[in-house]
């Protein structure tokens, strides 16, 4: 929803209630140019969670749904030593 600053001033309480109840955003304009946005406040457990949701809103990350990534995934079987053993041996050489 886009609204002029004068109308916003006259209907501020009503518009805040609208944003609060509907989770819609309101863009406030001055001389037909956007100057501010009224957005619903979201309560997050911590700042990291809030930041993650902002990144998701920008399309930079996808939030998980708690389900496994892909049930069709199977480990690659190879010949020779397991990769974990190779890493352990490499680290032992450093000490």
For residue 12, give the CATH number of its domain.
Answer: 3.40.1620.10
pLDDT of residue 79: 85
Of 73, 46, 48, give the one whose Cα is nearest residue 61: 48
| Residues 35 and 15: beta-carbon distance below 8 Å | no
Residue 28 lies in a domain: yes
Residue 72 lies in a domain: no
Residue 43 lies in a domain: yes
pLDDT of residue 95: 64
- Kindly report the number of other CB atoms within 10 A of residue 26's CB atom: 16
- Kindly report the number of other CB atoms within 10 A of residue 95's CB atom: 4
pLDDT, averaged in runs of 10, over the chain (95 residues): 93 91 88 91 77 86 77 78 88 77
pLDDT of residue 80: 87
Residue 70 lies in a domain: no
pTM: 0.46
Domain extent for 9:
2-57
């Amino acid at each position: 929803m886009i609204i002029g600053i004068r109308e916003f001033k006259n209907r501020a309480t009503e518009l805040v209630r609208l944003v609060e109840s509907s989770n819609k955003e309101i863009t406030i304009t001055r001389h037909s140019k956007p100057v501010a946005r009224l957005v619903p406040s979201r309560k997050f457990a911590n700042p990291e969670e809030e930041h993650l949701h902002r990144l998701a809103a920008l399309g930079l990350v996808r939030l998980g749904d708690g389900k496994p990534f892909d049930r069709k995934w199977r480990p690659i079987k190879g010949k020779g030593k397991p990769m974990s053993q190779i890493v352990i041996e490499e680290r032992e050489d450093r000490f």
